[in-house]
Each structure stands twice: as C-alpha cells, then as structure tokens.
A and B are shown apart, each in its own frame.
Chain A
Amino acid sequence: MTNIVIVGVGGQGILISSQVIGRAAMAKGLDVFMSEVHGMAQRGGVVVTTVKLGEKVYSPLIGDGDADIILGFEPIETYRAIRKASKDTWVITNTAPIVPFTVSTGKQSYPDIDDIFKSLEEVTDKFVKMDARKLAMEAGAAITQNIVMVGALTATGVLPMSKEEMLEAVRQSVPERFMEINEKAFLKGFEQI
C-alpha cells in the first residue's frame, strides 16, 4: 500500500492533484481509496486530502507515521502535517508561503520558514523543498503548481506508476488547451528530485 498525504490551502488545486494520482493508479489496475475536503473548510482554510493505493485498500485515512509521501503545497501546512511522516517518508514541500489572515491582520505571527525547514532536515533525510509557484510560472501559469508538485512526487519513485503513466493521467485531468503548460509543469517538478 502507498499512502500519500497532500496538504495546503483551499484554492491551490489540491483536489485535482489527488485525482490525478487516483486516476493513474486505477488505470494501472490498483485499488484506490481517498478522502477529500469539501464545504466550509475550503474558504481559505487548511485542506488535507489523503490518497491510498495498492492491491487492496481498506480505508481512506492515514495514521500517524504511516505516510509514504507528504506533498505540502505550503510550508507551514507541510510542517503541520508532519506527524503523518516517519523517517522513511518523503517530505516534499513548496517553499512559497501563503500567509493566513490571522497573521496578515497582525494578530499571530508566521514563523521563519528557514527555521521550519532546518527542523525538518534535522529529523529526515528525505526532505525536498522547491518553489513550485516559480516553477509553475516558468512553465507558463502559476495555477499549474499543483502539477509541478505531482511531477516531483512521481520522481521519488515511491509510486507504483511510471512517469509516462502519471503524465497520461495529467493529460486526462486538465482541459485540452492547458495540456502543454501542464506537461511542462509536470516535467519541471519531476526534475527537482
């Protein structure tokens, strides 16, 4: 069984990225069970989706320390989900922060990201950080950062699906006119690992 936790903020395209993974796994004949976030929490709140795939999957949620990959779309959300990781877990994070309103209104403070990254590097060797937003813009559109992340996830080799199989799922999940940009975004992410 491969367990993937995807975290970030509402509006970052997290549901699409988890569905790309699910679609690719299904095409390969694997069982898939995932949980999504809909409703109130989407209004700028934390979004956590989980994807589990394998010969047979029994539940959609992932226990502490049981994730094979944490794909974090926002640095402090990656950190917030870290209890799902063990030392064998790939932790891939976007470095571009999205400051919550609790901070922008001056009520709370956003920690120094480098300190956060340092603390993660201290506990795991499988920590990868990248500016997915910048890479997405290089590919042609900032909104493709979710596909940049999926590209990086694929490059870890933890998924049972090949690069080509994942790319095919990307193609099936995005509108035709954005296909080229998304393919570029996927490859940008893939090169990061």
Chain B
Amino acid sequence: MKELLHDEPGKKILLLGNEAIVRGALEAGIGHGSTYPGTPSSEIGNTFEKVAKDYGMYFEYSANEKVALEVGAAAAVSGVRSMVWMKHVGVNVAADALMTLMYCGTRAGLVLVAAGDPSVHSSQNEQDNRYYSQLGNIPMLEPTTPQEAKEMVKYAFDLSEKLELPVLIRTTTRVNHARGIVTFGELKPPAEKGHFEKDPGRFVAVPSTALNNHPRLLKHIKEAEPISEESPFNVEYDCEEPELHIVASGAGFNYALEAKEVHGLPVKILKLGMTNPFPKDKVSEFIRDAERVLVVEELEPFLEDKITQIAKDINPGVEIYGKHTGHFSRLYEYNPDIVLEALSKLIDLDVKDESLKPKEFSLPTRPPSLCPGCPHRATYYAVKRALGKKEAVFSTDIGCYTLGIQDPMNMADFLLCMGSSVGAAGGFSKNTDQKVFAFLGDSTFFHSGLPALVSGVYNQHDFVYVIMDNRTTAMTGHQPHPGTGITGMGDPAPMLSIENLARGAGVEFVETVDPFDIEKTTEVFRKAIEHPGIAVVIPKHACVLIEEGKIKGPAYVVDQDVCKQCHVCTDKFGCTALVRDGDVVTINATLCIGCDQCAQVCPFDAIGPEVE
C-alpha cells in the first residue's frame, strides 16, 4: 500500500473504497487519524498502519470510538487536520462527544467517516446513520464510488474549515468494500504540529457556553445550505423526454444510473451527494415539473420524507414513490435487481428472469465459525465441563467469540453491543437466581468492559467475568490494542495488564489460565463458579492466526482401533477440523493445525499427532 504515498497526480490505481478514503486524507494534508476498528471501516485503519509513519502523520487505535473522536477533536481545534472513522454503531459510542463537539465546532478540518452496514454483513444492526446528521446538525456527504469517496474526503476537510464544523461522511459496505479505479490528485504534506489557542467561552461546554454555542451551530449549518445547493456532488443525469424523475443517493444511486444507461430508460436522475443540509432548492427545481418521482435510497426514507414535504408547496400533484408506497423496502441493502423491479412497476421495462433453474437440492449452510485451534472453543468447553448439569445464563459480547452461539457450544444468550456482556451479566445476577457468565474479548474489555466492571464491583454483582484474551482484535483483522504492547504506528507501547486492572477495580478472584490446558482451565472455572461476587477468569492464548499464536502441526489423527465412537469430540467440543461420517470420526488434515485440544477432550486417548 506504499503506492498510496506516490505523488503522481493523474496516476490510476485500483483501490478499495477504504484505501481511497485514506488517499483522500493524504491529498488533504491530514495530520491526525484515530479510530476503533469495526467492519466495514476497518481497512482504513489497516491502511494507515502501513502509511502513517512514512507520510509523517500521527495515527492511533483508541480504546473506543468515543475516545477516538475526542482525541481527533483536540487535534483539530489545535489546528491539525484530523480524520476519525468507525462503523455505524461506533457513532453511538461516540455520540455523546459528537453532539457537543458540534456546538463547539472545529478550527482545522475534522472529518468523521461513519461506515454503515445495510444487510448486516458483519454488525448487530443496520441503523441508518444519516439521522445523526440531523440530530447533531452535521454537514453530510454520501459517496457512491471509491473515486468519489476520495474526492469527498478531500473536499470535506475544506468544507469543515469553512464552516468551522466537523463534517460527516456516511458510507456503506458497498462503498467501503467496493474496489474501483481511482485517479490520484496531488499529494499534500502532512499537517504540522498545532498549538491550542485557549477560548474557554467556546470550548468549555458549561451551560453559559452552550447557550452561545447552540446559536453558533445553527448559524454555521445555515451557512452550509447554499453550499449544499451548489455542491458539485449533487449531479443531474438528463434525459430528453423523461417518463420518471429519480432522486437517489449512496449505493442505490449506482443501480439507478446503471438501469438508465444499460437499459436506456427514459428517466432523469438527480444524485444527491451532499444530503445535509438538504439541497431544498435544487430538489424543488428538479421536481417542479415532474409528474412522478421515485426516490432510491437504502434503509430509511430519509430523502423521501423531505421530498414529500417540499412537494406539498412546489408541486402538490406530483406522485412520489419509494418506501411509503411499497416500491422499496426499509430493510437490507439494494442491488441491480431490486432497483429494476421497482422501476418496472413505473415505466415500460421488461424484466425477464433468465436465471438458470436447475433441479433443487437442499444445501448445507456454511456460516462463519471458530477456526480449528481457536482458544475460544477450549474456553467454552471448559466452562461447560465446570458447570456440569448446572444451568447458567451466558451474556456474550462482540468479537469472534460471539460464534459461541453455534452448535455444539450454544453459549450465547444475550448480546446488544460492545461491552454489553458485563452490565447485562450484573443485571441477570441481581434479578434472577441463575448462575451468570459474561464472555468478552481483550479488545472489547478495553473498549467498554472496564467501566462495567467497576460498576459491577461497586454494586456487588455476582457473575463469572471471562475475559478471553487472544492478544489481538481478531474479528476485524488483528489490530493491536492497549494490551498488545504495540501501537497503531508499530511502535512499542506499555502492555496494560488485564489482571492488574481487575485487581485495581477491587476484584478479589482474578485467575489467568492457558485455555489449551483444558483440565486446568476447567478447574479454575469450578472455583470461579463457587466464588461469591465477581470472579474474573482470563483464558489467555494468542489467536492462532497471528504470529504469536501460530501452531505448525503435525495434524492429528484418530486411531480407529481405540476410538469408541462416543462422539464427545464432535458433539460436545465440535472443532471444525473433525469430520463425522455416520459414526466414524476422522480429522481433516488440511484444516487441523495440531493444537492438541481434541486429544485432551477424548476420554479414550484415541487422538494424537500423526506419526510416520
């Protein structure tokens, strides 16, 4: 990715949307970047990891999104161009800071990239973050392609400085994880260190300041209105005798334009790239003489409601089609077929289904799963053994270990968001007589598990707090965190001790154990279950996908002469390298890494390393 640092204006390169966003920031002369990883935004951070140092900027993985935004805000008010990025639900975490930051505003450009995930490819909800732009009065841009994402980031820095407000760039998976040709602009040198000029009347959010800052914010967002009306990202695609007018944004626009161009449809399209403030005059002009308007936007009727509102004055007779008329759904992401289908109800368009229809088979599902050798599986197995026949509530969290929801583990009963395992575990323990476990990972512990621990100790909650320390932020692609001893820039860092943090919070029972020793781990859990109050257990073993945790075989085999076909290994433990065919169990040698877990699980010592 060093190519992103080439100063060759006009050079064309195939980039992932997230890489294009990084290039946009480099072309804007960014000085600060901060984030907490989350799909589909993670590759922005992964890319900065590789280029930040050579470029000469500061980049960090903060403990959570709120911290990331606060760090970035301080940089920006000190005169350093800053970008902060996160997944859509990360904005919920950062929202407390964000809402008041809008009151204070910024000095140097501050760009917040919020990556939405319609169809929840890798998320807990598909909330439409465009409403944050209204809640906070945040100027908003919505890119449709990697090239446009790059241009918008660059533009957003200037816009942010002009308005003295942070600017929101709202993307979705099909922009972040789309790859397209991007043309480089000029590379700017990184922002130099800033200096914070004090102005407590603006930057200290006490009531008297807020009373002044609120009108300030409204004034600046008002100034953004003519800018939105004239925005180069709001573009008309003309047609001589249009049968239908289309207003579209985001990924939905791409499918609408494709339908128009590929099928030669008589439609006129207005693409909205700047969607807050809503370019009221521009849209009014567009729909003034229209008979029928179709609004194409994924998720909520954000634009549709505004268009319906202005149509009452400008063109009361116009028919507006979209989510309220059932032409589109408020659910899931769109695709070319969904948009064509909606269009076919409004204009003469023959949508033929020419797809192949072979004989139907019932296919097995292929959900993502814990990898062979994953330490989390051993932890779950040990908990199950320690519990025996005792019932327990498993309050889980966000990370690879959420896959504990699957057979044969079935150890996920409640989950809302990052860190929710801990607060909820306390709630279950106080309000039921059930035994309670909280499962969360090391990165999630630093993200939001820590304050919930403090609250739990204070309120004398009673549960087993399992911090599954695999030495990385695994699910999002192995980013470092405060416990790994390395920073986002690749420099050494203090390695925060989860044990010390837990003890410091007043937890009396704190035990660290290697989950690969299943017997010992089970023993620790047995003691933890008996312990009154919060018992912290830290099963610690590096993710087998990172260098620290790599295991290099040999693959294990089942000795069929010894195997009694009890199926404890497949039905209770369930490593994905184990293959059960009827009653016979074998091991898939290409998947097995030789971690030894299944050998420990086998009651008859029938499993061991393959010997020549």
CB distance from B418 to the nearest CB of A (A): 14
User: How far apart are the CA atoms of A183 and B188 in the complex, in Å?
Assistant: 39
Contact B358 A79 (CB under 8 A): yes
Contact A56 B261 (CB under 8 A): yes
**Does B576 make an interface contact (CB < 8 A)?**
yes
Quick check: which of A25-33, A154-162, A174-182, A184-192 contacts chain B, the rest being far away?
A25-33
Indicate the member of A36, A59, A77, A116 with the most B CB atoms within 10 Å: A59
Which of chain A's residues have a CB closer than 8 A to the CB of B367?
45, 100, 102
**Does B43 make an interface contact (CB < 8 A)?**
yes
Interface of chain B residues 1 through 38 with chain A (CB within 8 A): 12, 14, 16
Which of chain B's residues have a CB closer than 8 A to the CB of A108?
364-365
Known A-B contacts A58-B262, A104-B580, A105-B571; A42 and B355 likewise in contact (beta carbons under 8 Å): no
CB distance from B310 to the nearest CB of A (A): 28
Contact A41 B122 (CB under 8 A): yes
Interface of A is mostly: mixed
Known A-B contacts A40-B122, A85-B355, A85-B356; A60 and B180 likewise in contact (beta carbons under 8 Å): yes
Contact B366 A59 (CB under 8 A): no
Select which of A1, A40, A85, A110 is within 8 A of B368 by beta carbon.
Answer: A40
A-B contact count (CB 8 A): 185
Interface of B is mostly: loop
Which of chain A's residues have a CB closer than 8 A to the CB of B403?
43
**Does A10 make an interface contact (CB < 8 A)?**
yes
Which of chain B's residues have a CB closer than 8 A to the CB of A35?
174, 177-179
Q: How many residues of A contact B (CB 8 A)?
A: 66
**Does B609 make an interface contact (CB < 8 A)?**
no
Known A-B contacts A56-B261, A80-B363, A105-B580; A26 and B177 likewise in contact (beta carbons under 8 Å): no
Contact A83 B355 (CB under 8 A): yes
Interface of chain A residues 48 through 72 with chain B (CB within 8 A): 56-66
Contact A26 B181 (CB under 8 A): yes
Contact A99 B363 (CB under 8 A): no
Contact A43 B174 (CB under 8 A): no
Contact A36 B177 (CB under 8 A): yes
Interface of chain B residues 378 through 430 with chain A (CB within 8 A): 400, 403, 407-408
Contact B358 A120 (CB under 8 A): yes
Select which of A39, A42, A122 is within 8 A of B40 by beta carbon.
Answer: A39
**Does B337 make an interface contact (CB < 8 A)?**
yes
User: How far apart are the CA atoms of A62 and B336 in the complex, in Å?
Assistant: 7
**Does B287 make an interface contact (CB < 8 A)?**
no
Contact A87 B356 (CB under 8 A): yes
**Does A2 make an interface contact (CB < 8 A)?**
no
Instruction: Specify the chain B residue showing the minimal Cβ separation from A42.
Output: B368
Contact A119 B361 (CB under 8 A): yes
Known A-B contacts A19-B14, A58-B258, A63-B336; A83 and B179 likewise in contact (beta carbons under 8 Å): no
Contact A38 B477 (CB under 8 A): yes
User: How far apart are the CA atoms of A102 and B406 in the complex, in Å?
Assistant: 10
Interface string of B442-472 (1 = CB under 8 A from A): 0000000000000000000000000000000
User: How far apart are the CA atoms of A106 and B408 in the complex, in Å?
Assistant: 11
Contact B570 A106 (CB under 8 A): yes
Contact A40 B337 (CB under 8 A): no
Interface of chain B residues 152 through 182 with chain A (CB within 8 A): 174, 177-181
**Does B512 make an interface contact (CB < 8 A)?**
no
Which of chain B's residues have a CB closer than 8 A to the CB of A80?
363
User: How far apart are the CA atoms of A54 and B317 in the complex, in Å?
Assistant: 41
**Does A76 make an interface contact (CB < 8 A)?**
yes
The 6 lowest CB-CB distance pairs between A and B, nearest first, are: A39-B39, A58-B258, A59-B254, A39-B122, A65-B355, A45-B368
Give B residues with C-beta under 8 Å from A: 12, 14, 16, 39-40, 42-43, 121-122, 145, 174, 177-181, 251, 254-255, 257-258, 261-262, 335-337, 340, 352-359, 361-371, 400, 403, 407-408, 475-477, 567, 570-571, 574, 576, 578-580, 588
